[in-house]
Amino acid sequence: MNAKRFHLPLVLAAGVMIASLSAAPAAFAKEPVPAQPVTDLAPNARSAILMDADSGTVIYEKNSHVPLPPASITKIMTMLLVMEAIDQGRLKMTDKVQTSEYAASMGGSQIFLEAGEVMTVEDMLKGVALASGNDASVALAEKLAGSEAEFVRMMNDRAKELGMTDTKFANCNGLPASGHESSAHDIAIMSRELLKYEKITKFTGLYQDYLRKDSEKPFWLVNTNKLVRFYHGADGLKTGFTSEAKFCLSATARRDNLRLIAVVMGEPNTKTRNAEVTHLFDYAFAQYTNVPIYKKGDPIGTLTVEKGVKAEVPLVAKHSYSVLLKKGDAGQGIRHELVLNSSVKAPVRTGQTVGKLIVYRGDQVLKEFPVESPLSVDRAGWWTLFKRSAGHLFLSK
């Protein structure tokens, strides 16, 4: 396939990061994985993974594709679908959510919703993120999809879209169920996707808050993830425990340009779980740094659409993107190149892959990001195409 190539030097001093483009890791060559540490960073975990959130680079992994019961880490997907619905305008933080008898009947961790009780989406999210409310998870699922069963179908569809091949959801809260399983790798993928919605850490990063503040019985919420209080930079995501799953955690922490995701599953107790996640974070923050490519909102190029109602589409960074390097390697011959497909014809749909952004160090490819169209472009009518051709003919004289 012919392609248009744009060579773009990387200016580190400008603090540039990357963009636009959701992860479709199978579409392009995988960047080199950093060398594994000699020692096992999570010796007590049944499985574990350590990932750079921006680039998706895996720094460390142990049995990361083994399907295991995920317990309440399941709720990361529940929160992701809620945040996506809010982003798409199908739901608002201020919308009211009425608790069904079924939602109120959930056992385990809960915020003790009563049948008929009404809370906002925002308060329900707090109940899920801080207190791991099984009841709040079901209430949100029913609000968004009409039933938990339909919501679970949406969860599994989204998991497939994200390439989560080790995952099968049976409910929205992680209560024990036959066939309900995921892997450390898949949990890191959905955690990374959730972190694209920066507002989520407003909830997952809180150590404590209250629900029913104006009632006679305010309900005190304390985050089940104690790292948000005791580890510098930690601001989420989700704990999990059942007798079958043991102690699980998907955690995130950010320092400077580097945001990490650490997932451990099957830990023997909370103390060991937190200590091993801390060890994973400490290792990565000591060894690695993030080199920014584009920051959110930066223009990255222009797409030409043949026979479209729009002849050109500006490509703008929707998210920050970067590459992970060992400390000391940053700035050594890093460059990037935008390669757009040479023939993009209307109609074009939003999210359609139209090229890729390639990051190099010297001649070595470090990372390839798919570039997607930020909007849909319909095919132009004959009169529009005639006027456009006439205009080009006039300008060429």
Q: Quick check: pTM over 0.85?
A: no
Location of structure tokens 């060559």: 29
Confirm if 267 and 44 have CB atoms less than 8 A apart: yes
Show me where the domains of the chain are located.
3-29+293-396, 47-267
Q: Which residues are catalytic?
A: 72, 75, 132
Q: How many Å apart are CA 222 and CA 206, to the nearest integer?
A: 8
pLDDT of residue 9: 42
pLDDT of residue 3: 55
pLDDT of residue 327: 86
Q: What are the distances in angstroms from CA 218 to CA 123, 151, 205, 222, 233?
A: 12, 30, 21, 13, 29
Using 50 as the pLDDT threshold, list the residues of the chain that sit under it: 1-2, 7-31, 393-397
Tokens for 340, please give them. 């757009």
The per-residue pLDDT for range 107-158, each reduced to its tens digit, is 899 999 999 999 999 999 999 999 999 999 999 999 999 999 999 999 999 9
pLDDT of residue 22: 35
Q: What are the distances in angstroms from CA 251 to CA 154, 277, 281, 364?
A: 24, 8, 9, 31
pLDDT of residue 389: 65
**DSSP conformation class of 22:** -
Tokens for 142, please give them. 């029913």
Architecture of domain 47-267: 3-Layer(aba) Sandwich (3.40)
Closest CA to 78 of 135, 9, 21, 14: 135
CATH code matching the domain that covers 3-29+293-396, chosen among 2.40.160.40, 2.60.410.10, 3.40.50.10420, 1.10.10.10: 2.60.410.10
The per-residue pLDDT for range 211-270, each reduced to its tens digit, is 888 777 888 989 999 999 999 999 989 999 999 999 999 999 999 889 999 999 999 999
The full DSSP string for 338-367 is: EEEES--BS-B-TT-EEEEEEEEETTEEEE
Other beta carbons within 10 Å of 92:
12
